[in-house]
Amino acid sequence: MEPVSLASISASLDPGLAAIAFPVAFRAVGAMAILLITLVMAGKARRGTAASIGRTRADPNIAVFVGRFAHLGVLTIGGLIALGIAGIDWTVILALAGAIGLAVSLAVQDVLKNLVAGLYLLMERPFRVGETIKVRDFTGRVEDIGIRTTVLRTDDALLVIVPNTVMFADVVVNKSARKRAQDGVDEDEKPAAAEIPLNRCQ
């Protein structure tokens, strides 16, 4: 039995079909290779970014969030390159992605506002986990500062989950700020005021 070669396969195919099939096959293989490389690079970007931010004094939640953002960014760029290699027009994909992105952003705009406010709280740190604060009619100890919400535990053991947009826009009274300043915690940082209007940058 004679070995089957690429040349014999090409000779057995119709010339017109071969002229179409082989370029398409090469493009598909190239696009798959780019996608595999993109997956590897995206994972490295996420871990590297999270590790770099983790070595700073930033909140661990910021490291996770920025790492995921870097992962998504690399995947997006690699996907667009793979589509270009596959012969798909980028303008169509970008137009479709823009329409979908606009619809999604309108649907989850409140969630996005909470995300932005959460990042601000994590970076600015007007209050910290374990401190006692008052926002609106609620007073309690901060148990968690997340990307979307801040969790308070009141004196009567009630769990209050406050959207970060409320923490960002309203006046927050930090009842532990004076104790933090007296204890000399983070002397290289500016002590927080007793009353912190978080909307001062709006």
pLDDT at 191: 44
**Mean pLDDT, the chain, whole residue set:** 76
Q: Do domains 6-107 and 127-201 have the same CATH topology?
A: no
Distance (Å) of CA 160 to CA 10, 124, 131, 152: 70, 22, 15, 5
Single-letter code of the amino acid located at 103: A
Which whole number is the average pLDDT over 27-46? 89
CA distance 198 to 163: 13
At residue 158, the 3 state secondary structure works out as coil
Residue spans per domain, the chain = 6-107, 127-201
75-131 confidence digits (pLDDT tens): 888 888 888 888 777 777 778 778 877 877 777 777 778 778 877 887 778 888 888
Q: What percent of the chain has pLDDT over 70?
A: 74
With cut-offs at 50, 70 and 90, classify the pLDDT of residue 41.
very high
Q: Nearest CA to 70 among 101, 47, 54? A: 47
Given a cut of 90, is residue 37 above it in pLDDT?
Answer: yes
Going by CATH, does the domain composed of 127-201 fall within 3.40.50.1370? Answer: no
pLDDT at 36: 93
Given a cut of 80, is residue 63 above it in pLDDT?
Answer: no
Going by CATH, does the domain composed of 6-107 fall within 3.30.70.330? Answer: no
pLDDT at 141: 92
CA distance 105 to 153: 32
Query: Is the pTM higher than 0.85?
Result: no
Which whole number is the average pLDDT over 15-25? 63
